[in-house]
């Protein structure tokens, strides 16, 4: 079938043979699966370009101490091969970064993926050539390759945010970013260390550095609502039970909002039960750990402010219980935004760090960091001296990796111009005016609110199905109609407006990067609803898309 597909496509295309059928950018969860799917199942000629020196993506770059996933590994892993999911053994409930990186290297070895990946190569220009119906993909190594399909597997959280303060070049001590952690050992012993940022990365690194540094100073702009992760060794009985019905469990996961089957189902409304029942539910989910509290308690906590108050107050109360000094506790308790309107964070001894004598919290909400200095950093109020500064300040999420590639579509239109007021996509995977571009887990898909390996598989499968459809019908290009895209953007914004998310400065809203358009970057109706919509699109024969043959429209339809 594979050879036939290629021949059909080549016969249909009145274009010179491109260098590759598909270029894939990125060798994380998405790029590895895209290579396997397109090369081994569709028989396409595929080239993967990766900026790093190895596979792993997120898990290649984020090597900071304490880095681990917060979705149980038995879920946070590929489902596409039952053999793979049966044979791999996770040592912990929530695997650490080194173990996830080992897993992704194992996948690359097992499916012989390395040979088609070019490492140490950053894509810096991607231009659509209408005359040949190909993408021209250029790299920082000075090469340009052509391909019929361009698959961005560049990730959502792969471009660290530019620091908002000056002076990163003048600090004479050691300076690290969690999202670009060095490969050599970093020793905190006997050092005065600063960590800037208290999101998911910050709280993981703070917990570890506190144990070793002579002194750790945490610069906090906004406190987080961290709840217990409850990690531990993998439970063999639980693993065996899951493996006995792994494919069924994966299918059940895909039919949930977030791509995970929890130990408890959420109840419809926090306001529909008595305060005692509510408390019982929160206590139960608190003990279960991880996403149980946010995703398996009540369904209305991010849509109804009164419901949200109940969980926000509950978590605040639990945080206070963790901190010995009541005044310090108040500075660690979030008060300026509702729980769950920033991406939930999970801790294991994060709050304990503040009970140590060698840890100081500096609140920079009113006195921002203005610059790093040769000996440390300066806030609007004070100067501080450090041997080491760690930036845990987050990412230019969702749109950043795509825009950094300088993508230019049909008629010279730049993606950056098209998205100047926020992303415009259909299903978060295709963009009108950018034929044969597939954005795996792109903005306006459920992506980061969906257990990511499953989200990745769904999107790669969608792209592969679309390519198969093109080849089978002898078409050259596919892109969504402007009408379908407009409707998708409206639907995304309407969903966001029905939630509490727009009121909070989060990366979900693009609000963590100065100057970035403030729009919701994630489709909020849930992975299950989204999957249904995608299925309807495919079963309906791609009616929301324009298809061309030799540059001529074969069908113009309105979504
Ligand atoms: P990535 O893993 O980000 O891979 C993208 C790759 O593309 C990178 O290797 C990058 O170098 C490469 N790339 C980007 N641009 C270019 C370019 N222009 N040229 C060449 N190469 C390029 N999600 C969860 O669901 N659960 C979790 O527990 C979880 N934990 C996380 C922990 C951390 C520390 C972070 C940062 C994210 C976490 N995430 C988690 C989200 C995580 O990003 C995804 O789960 C998943 O790893 C994304 O895989 P990906 O292949 O789509 O992208
Ligand atoms: P983040 O959630 O965006 O957190 C960044 C932190 O840096 C915030 O506390 C932010 O404060 C602070 N900050 C940014 N600029 C600052 C400045 N100029 N001065 C002071 N503080 C500043 O980024 P992240 O922690 O890297 O996490 C990003 C995402 O990656 C997560 O939401 C999650 O999806 C994923 N992740 C997951 C895990 C996991 O456990 N599985 C671990 C790490 C990351 P403000 O809130 O005030 O902006």
The enclosing domain of 19 has a CATH number of 3.50.50.60
Is position 347 within any domain?
Answer: yes
Q: Whose CA is nearest to atom 10 of ligand 2?
A: 197
Binding site membership of 480 for ligand 2 (Cβ less than 6 Å): no
CA distance 392 to 357: 22
Q: pLDDT-derived band of residue 43, with 50, 70 and 90 as boundaries?
A: very high
What does the pLDDT read at residue 559? Answer: 32
Q: Whose CA is nearest to atom 4 of ligand 2?
A: 199
Are 304 and 438 contained in the same domain?
A: no
What are φ and ψ of residue 477, in 5° steps?
Answer: -135, 155
Are 141 and 8 contained in the same domain?
A: yes
Is pLDDT at 507 greater than 60 in this prediction?
A: yes
Is position 391 within any domain?
Answer: no
pTM: 0.96
Q: What is the mean pLDDT of residues 439-468?
A: 97
Is pLDDT at 2 greater than 70 in this prediction?
A: no
Is position 80 within any domain?
Answer: yes
Q: Which residue, of 351, 378, 407, is where some domain finishes?
A: 351
| Alpha helices in 419-481, H assignment, sequence order | 452-473
What are φ and ψ of residue 193, in 5° steps?
Answer: -115, 140
SS3 label, residue 194: strand
| Number of residues in the chain | 559
Binding site membership of 181 for ligand 2 (Cβ less than 6 Å): no
Ligand (nearest to CA of 35):
1
Is pLDDT at 292 greater than 60 in this prediction?
A: yes
Q: Which residue, of 351, 377, 412, is where some domain finishes?
A: 351
Number of neighbours of residue 86 by Cβ within 10 angstroms: 12
Is position 191 within any domain?
Answer: no
Helix axes of 452-473 and 527-539: crossing angle, nearest 10 degrees: 10
Are 343 and 415 contained in the same domain?
A: no
| Alpha helices in 213-363, H assignment, sequence order | 236-244, 246-254, 275-288, 292-295, 305-322, 326-332, 350-353
Look up tokens 């090597």; give the residue: 63
What does the pLDDT read at residue 13? Answer: 45
Is position 365 within any domain?
Answer: no
Is position 404 within any domain?
Answer: yes
Are 343 and 416 contained in the same domain?
A: no
Q: Which of 374, 372, 320 is nearest to 196 (CA)?
A: 372
Are 347 and 401 contained in the same domain?
A: no
What does the pLDDT read at residue 136? Answer: 98
The CA 247 to ligand 1 mean position distance, Å, reads 25
Are 343 and 449 contained in the same domain?
A: no
The region, left, alpha or beta by phi > 0 then psi within -120 to 50, assigned to residue 433 is left
Is position 195 within any domain?
Answer: no
Are 347 and 419 contained in the same domain?
A: no
The CA 409 to ligand 2 mean position distance, Å, reads 32
Q: Which residue, of 332, 351, 370, is where some domain finishes?
A: 351
Q: Give the tokens for residue 326.
A: 């009541």
Residue range of the domain that includes 315:
226-351
Binding site membership of 343 for ligand 2 (Cβ less than 6 Å): yes
Are 305 and 423 contained in the same domain?
A: no
| DSSP conformation class of 129 | E
Are 142 and 240 contained in the same domain?
A: no
Provide residues with CB under 6 Å of ligand 1.
25-31, 49-52, 57-58, 60, 62, 67, 69-71, 76, 122-123, 153-158, 201, 401, 404-405, 441, 451-452, 456
Is pLDDT at 273 greater than 80 in this prediction?
A: yes
Are 495 and 347 contained in the same domain?
A: no
Are 465 and 338 contained in the same domain?
A: no
CA distances from 203 to 67, 180, 193, 206 (A): 10, 17, 14, 5
Q: Domain total for the chain? A: 2
Q: pLDDT-derived band of residue 552, with 50, 70 and 90 as boundaries?
A: confident
Is position 415 within any domain?
Answer: yes
Look up tokens 């940022």; give the residue: 197
């Amino acid at each position: 079938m594979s050879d036939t597909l290629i021949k059909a496509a080549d016969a249909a295309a009145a274009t010179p043979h491109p260098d590759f059928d598909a270029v894939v950018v990125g060798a994380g969860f998405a790029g590895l699966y895209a290579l396997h799917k397109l090369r081994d199942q569709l028989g396409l000629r595929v080239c993967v370009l990766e900026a790093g020196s190895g596979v792993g993506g997120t898990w290649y770059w984020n090597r900071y101490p304490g880095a681990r996933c917060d979705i149980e590994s038995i879920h946070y892993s590929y489902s596409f091969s039952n053999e793979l999911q049966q044979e791999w053994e996770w040592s912990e409930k929530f695997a650490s970064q080194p173990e996830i990186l080992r897993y992704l290297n194992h996948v690359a070895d097992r499916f012989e993926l390395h040979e088609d990946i070019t490492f140490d190569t950053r894509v810096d220009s991607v231009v659509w050539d209408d005359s040949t119906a190909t993408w021209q993909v250029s790299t920082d190594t000075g090469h340009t390759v052509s391909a019929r399909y361009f698959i961005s597997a560049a990730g959502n959280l792969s471009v660290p945010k530019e620091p908002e303060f000056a002076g990163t070049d003048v600090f004479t001590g050691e300076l690290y970013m969690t999202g670009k952690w060095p490969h050599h050992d970093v020793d905190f012993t006997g050092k005065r260390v600063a960590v800037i940022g208290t999101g998911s990365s910050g709280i993981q690194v703070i917990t570890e550095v506190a144990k070793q540094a002579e002194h750790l100073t945490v610069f906090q702009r906004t406190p987080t609502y961290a709840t217990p992760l409850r990690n531990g060794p993998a439970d063999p009985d639980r693993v065996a039970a899951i493996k006995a019905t792994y494919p069924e469990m994966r299918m059940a996961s895909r039919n949930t909002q977030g791509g995970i089957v929890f130990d408890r189902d959420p109840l419809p409304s926090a306001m529909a039960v008595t305060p005692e029942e509510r408390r019982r539910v929160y206590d139960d989910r608190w003990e279960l750990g991880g996403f149980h509290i946010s995703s398996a308690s009540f369904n209305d906590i991010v849509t109804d402010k009164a419901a949200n108050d109940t969980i926000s107050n509950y978590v605040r109360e639990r945080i206070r219980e963790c901190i010995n000094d009541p005044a310090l506790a108040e500075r660690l308790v979030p008060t300026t935004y509702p729980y769950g309107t920033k991406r939930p964070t999970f801790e294991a001894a994060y709050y304990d760090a503040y009970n140590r004598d060698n840890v100081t919290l500096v609140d920079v909400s009113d006195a921002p960091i203005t610059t790093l200095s040769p000996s440390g950093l300066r806030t609007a109020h004070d100067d501080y001296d450090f041997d080491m500064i760690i930036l845990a300040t987050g990412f230019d999420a969702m749109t950043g990796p795509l825009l950094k590639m300088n993508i230019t579509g049909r008629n010279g239109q730049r993606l950056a111009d098209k998205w100047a007021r926020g992303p415009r996509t259909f299903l978060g995977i295709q963009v009108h005016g950018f034929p044969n571009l597939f954005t795996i887990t792109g903005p306006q898909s459920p992506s980061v609110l969906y257990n990511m390996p499953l989200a990745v598989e769904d999107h790669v499968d969608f792209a592969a199905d679309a390519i198969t459809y093109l080849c089978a019908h002898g078409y050259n290009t596919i892109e969504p109609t402007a009408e379908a895209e407009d409707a998708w953007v409206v639907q995304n914004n309407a969903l966001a407006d029905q939630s509490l998310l727009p009121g909070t400065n989060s990366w979900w809203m693009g609000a963590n990067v100065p100057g970035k358009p403030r729009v919701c970057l994630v489709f909020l109706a849930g992975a299950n609803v989204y999957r249904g919509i995608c299925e309807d699109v495919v079963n309906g024969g791609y009616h929301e898309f324009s298809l061309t043959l030799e540059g001529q429209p074969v069908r113009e339809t309105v979504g």
